[in-house]
Amino acid sequence: MREINDRMKLRFAPSPTGYLHVGGARTAIFNLLHARRYGGTMLLRIEDTDAERSRQHHAEQIVASLEWLGVAWDEGPIYQSDRIDRYRQRAIELVERGGAYRCHCTVEELEREREEAEKDGRSYRYSGKCRSAADRGESREEERFVVRFRVPPGPVDFDDLIRGPVHFEGETIDDFVVLRSDGHPTYHLSVVVDDIDMGITIVARGDDHLSNTPKHILLFRAFGAEPPQFAHLPLILGSDRKRLSKRTGATSAEEYREMGILPDALFNFLLLLGWSPGGDREILTREEAIEAFDLRDVHKAPAVFDADKLVWMNGQYLSRKPPEEIVPHLEPFLTVAIDDGERLLRVIRLNQARGRTLRDLAELIAPYFVDDETIAYDDEAVKKHLKGADVTRRLDALLEAFSALGEWNEAAAEAALRKLAEGEGVSAAKYIHPLRVALMGVGNSPPIFDVMIALGRERTLRRLRRLLEQLPLG
């Protein structure tokens, strides 16, 4: 039986400084699946306290991308910019408890200290000047100050759900700023205040945050709170084995959406970046993923983002999905007006295994819906299939036979064509190839009788007549 922990709470906490990065999307998916697996909840928090870099439209875009991906969080979105007073209040509380102090050092002073350290070849640490003054009970009345956290001595150890035991020496952690002189919190403060206030029990985030975690653990303790469990997700590398970046391809969920990737396929693909259900299983439904996923099984080693595999996987999803479910995803890519929804479903069914993206599929579908007068005949196909006097005679015979068909279905159409070929003593291909060019303009398509039915009688006959009027071509 599945273990249930309804106190369990995870969160995804993006900073709205750009589109939803695929790394962020994976973090969101892992948070969601772990919460679902154990009956916990997931919260969405927008970390927008950095007014210079955060943008409301990025936040909205991230929310929209998560919705598109089907990352259905339970609580939020909560905007940190709505909680600035709370962070300030908690910083003051920390000062009152002696866990932090006001620092009046100016930027210039700190710069000088940094330069001196560099000159002496020491790594820079804050001198602790204001900490000592605070220890002596000196207080200054100046308006301008930052609040620094008083880092307690000793190492910080924790058990990471993915990496196992992690150890940080105390000396590596400097007295860091928690509240800036403009009264805005730093990331360290807002993230810990929120994780406490919101009852977060597991923090799963990218391992670029690993060096922040000891600071956060110390802050949790200073507030008298039990630190959550941490899970640091391995990096995602590009095909060049370097950190995934624009250089090697698209990096945002939005770009993949625009390329014609289905949300389910992207979800499935990201799920396998650093996790595997075991065996060589690769295509999983969400329910199967929820059953099998556990943050503790995420790999330590970086994952490599293989965009070709994503496109392959998308093709798998596209070929398996019921056409009705494809329609809403396909609509933004359609370049032709759809006159008949039933006919669209039929055309999707005929073509869904032939394209790898929604863009491909939209392209494959267009010829079925374009105006018959606009069909263009591909040069290669013309050269191969429309040369010789026989072609006109055969297409004429097809036009006549199809016009006389009582029932418009695949079997009837095929029987009529085969009868003509047999009567002439040639292979059916001699009729099928020119017919295909007449109907689709190109040399390949799904089975031609299926195409005819998907086009309907009127269009089929019109397209045959139109080509006949233009023959000989080229």
Three-class SS state of 78: strand
Nearest distance, CB of residue 92 and ligand GLU, angstroms = 23
Q: Of 129, 209, 243, 466, which one interacts with ligand GLU (CB under 6 A)?
A: 209
* Among 307, 296, 249, 250, residue whose Cα is nearest residue 274: 296
Site stretch for ligand GLU (CB under 6 A), options 11-19, 34-42, 324-332, 394-402: 11-19
Nearest distance, CB of residue 79 and ligand GLU, angstroms = 12
Q: Of 10, 15, 190, 215, which one interacts with ligand GLU (CB under 6 A)?
A: 15
- Residue 12 φ/ψ, nearest 5 degrees: -115, 130
Site stretch for ligand GLU (CB under 6 A), options 10-18, 283-291, 292-300, 348-356: 10-18
Triad 322, 25, 307: Cα angle to 5°: 70
Q: How far apart are CA 233 and CA 228, in angstroms?
A: 16
Residue number with CB closer to ligand GLU (198 or 370): 198
User: 160-182 burial, b for 16+ CB within 10 Å, e for fewer?
Assistant: bbbbeebebeeeebebbbbbeee
Nearest distance, CB of residue 326 and ligand GLU, angstroms = 33
Please give the residues from 311 up to 370 whose contact with ligand GLU meets the rule CB under 6 A. none
Residue number with CB closer to ligand GLU (195 or 264): 195
Residue type at 52? E
Three-class SS state of 139: coil
Nearest residue to the partner ligand GLU, using Cβ:
205
Please give the residues from 32 up to 61 whose contact with ligand GLU meets the rule CB under 6 A. 47
Please give the residues from 54 up to 113 whose contact with ligand GLU meets the rule CB under 6 A. none
- Do the beta carbons of residue 288 and residue 275 sit within 8 Å? no
Q: Of 8, 10, 13, 399, which one interacts with ligand GLU (CB under 6 A)?
A: 13
Residue number with CB closer to ligand GLU (203 or 386): 203
Nearest distance, CB of residue 239 and ligand GLU, angstroms = 24
Three-class SS state of 45: strand
Three-class SS state of 203: strand
Nearest distance, CB of residue 200 and ligand GLU, angstroms = 9
Site stretch for ligand GLU (CB under 6 A), options 203-211, 224-232, 362-370, 382-390: 203-211
Site stretch for ligand GLU (CB under 6 A), options 7-15, 84-92, 126-134, 320-328: 7-15
Nearest distance, CB of residue 83 and ligand GLU, angstroms = 14
Nearest distance, CB of residue 132 and ligand GLU, angstroms = 32
Q: How far apart are CA 412 and CA 276, in angstroms?
A: 49
Residue number with CB closer to ligand GLU (185 or 367): 185
- Do the beta carbons of residue 52 and residue 180 sit within 8 Å? no
Residue number with CB closer to ligand GLU (156 or 358): 156
User: 275-311 burial, b for 16+ CB within 10 Å, e for fewer?
Assistant: bbbeeeeeebebeebbebbebeebeeebbbbbbeebb
Instruction: Name residue, tokens 């299983």.
Output: 281
Nearest distance, CB of residue 148 and ligand GLU, angstroms = 20
Q: Of 8, 9, 10, 14, which one interacts with ligand GLU (CB under 6 A)?
A: 14
Residue number with CB closer to ligand GLU (14 or 367): 14
Query: Cα 459 from chain centroid?
Result: 40
Q: Is 206 left (phi over 0), alpha (psi -120 to 50) or beta?
A: beta
Residue number with CB closer to ligand GLU (69 or 365): 69
Three-class SS state of 100: strand
Three-class SS state of 80: helix
* Among 474, 468, 450, 473, residue whose Cα is nearest residue 372: 468
Please give the residues from 172 up to 201 whose contact with ligand GLU meets the rule CB under 6 A. 191
Residue number with CB closer to ligand GLU (44 or 147): 44
Q: How far apart are CA 109 and CA 254, in angstroms?
A: 44
According to DSSP, the β-strands at 100-103 and 146-149 are: antiparallel
Given the residues 242, 246, 383, 384, the one annotated as active site: 246
| Number of residues this chain uses to bind ligand GLU (CB under 6 A) | 8
Q: Of 34, 36, 102, 205, which one interacts with ligand GLU (CB under 6 A)?
A: 205
- Do the beta carbons of residue 192 and residue 216 sit within 8 Å? yes
Q: Is 145 left (phi over 0), alpha (psi -120 to 50) or beta?
A: beta
Please give the residues from 229 up to 288 whose contact with ligand GLU meets the rule CB under 6 A. none
Nearest distance, CB of residue 187 and ligand GLU, angstroms = 7
Q: Is 154 left (phi over 0), alpha (psi -120 to 50) or beta?
A: left
Residue number with CB closer to ligand GLU (90 or 463): 90
Task: Answer yes or no: 246 catalytic.
Answer: yes
Beta bridge partners of 236: 303
Task: Point out which residues bind ligand GLU (CB under 6 A).
Answer: 13-15, 47, 191, 203, 205, 209
Annotated catalytic residues are 246
